[in-house]
Amino acid sequence: MLSDRQMQILEAAKRSGRVAVDDLAARYDVSVQTIRKDLNDLCDQRLLARVHGGAVLSSGVENVGYDARRVIAADEKAAIGRAVADLIPDRASLFINIGTTTEAVAHALLRHAGLMVITNNINVATALRPYPEMEVVIAGGVVRRSDGGIVGEAAVDFIRQFKVDFAVIGVSAIDGDGSLLDFDYREVRVAQAIIGNARHVILAADSSKFERSAPVRIGHLDQVQTFITDQAPPTIRAICEAAEVRLVEARPGEAARSSLGAGEMAS
């Protein structure tokens, strides 16, 4: 778990791309040794990378650790999860893929009845398994030790056997042109199969994904019907409007706000 100061350091690095030891020590009125330890902890979790005199955001070719990602924007992810759950009716079938935001969606679905959930996310399956109102179907394939994601051709072939009402997908990064990005091409193949075999695709991603990069392209924002985030930049709003994607902004402590397009779900 990150301390409050470490979370603030991480947020500062997101805003400027780099933080300096001396500046941070002065800001928080602590020793440079304390700041160096904070930066080392953040680097150990692959959130930052050390450079001379400070640290920078990690490279866009490797994802940060799963437990560390759970901490980042945790309140925003919980709000997004609740907003997604509000859109899914009882007795629906749905895909949920790997990710900390989609895991938050799974926890928000626990009061639903009669759901059939197909997932390649061991963490989602574990969260839903004890509830008798949930039928949980888990894909077969290679299990990634880093996050419990099930990937590979076997998982892709398994997903293609279904045609479900909803898909809830997460991504590692969203480019300014609306490209949806991830780090593992094997997971991308699974995500593409999920998108192609759902009647309504819901993208769930917090606003930190606009500040990140990843090397493998899943698809484009115009392939989803509903996008739920905590705050969308103007460029993404314009893409959603042009593609008639329903944009929902869900922030902690506030009612979700929706911009409706052709992707609006029937009431």
* CA–CA distances in Å: residue 7 to residues 49, 79, 191, 242: 15, 19, 30, 35
- Asked if 98 and 156 sit in the same domain, the reply is yes
How many structural domains compose the chain? 2
Q: Does any domain span residue 160?
A: yes
- Distance (Å) of CA 170 to CA 8, 72, 80, 87, 108: 24, 14, 11, 16, 15
CB 245 within 8 A of CB 225: yes
pLDDT in tens, 35-68: 999 999 998 887 888 888 998 877 665 566 667 6
Q: Is 16 exposed, middle or buried (0-12, 13-18, 19+ CB in 10 A)?
A: exposed
Residue 259: pLDDT over 90: no
**Do 121 and 229 fall into the same domain?**
yes
Range of the domain at 156: 73-259
Assess if residue 67 is contained within a domain: no
Q: Is 26 helix (H, G, I), strand (E, B) or coil?
A: helix
- pLDDT, tens digit (0-9, with 9 covering 90-100), for 142-173: 998 888 999 999 999 999 999 999 999 999 99
pLDDT digits (tens, 9 = 90+) for 182-224: 999 999 999 999 999 999 999 999 998 897 888 999 999 999 9
Read off the tokens for 167: 């898909």
Residues 124 and 195 grouped into a single domain = yes
Q: How far apart are the first and last CA of the chain?
A: 40
CB atoms within 10 A of CB 172: 24
| CATH number of 22's domain | 1.10.10.10
Query: Do residues 110 and 47 share a domain?
Result: no
Instruction: Provide the CATH number for the domain around residue 187.
Output: 3.40.50.1360
Within-domain flag for 66: no
Residue 17 falls within a domain, yes or no? Answer: yes
Tokens (6 digits) for 126: 């574990």
Is residue 264 included in any domain, yes or no? no
Q: Structure pTM? A: 0.80
Residue 64: predicted pLDDT:
64
What is the predicted pLDDT for the residue at 73?
A: 78
pLDDT for 267: 34
Report residue 112 as tokens: 């639903």
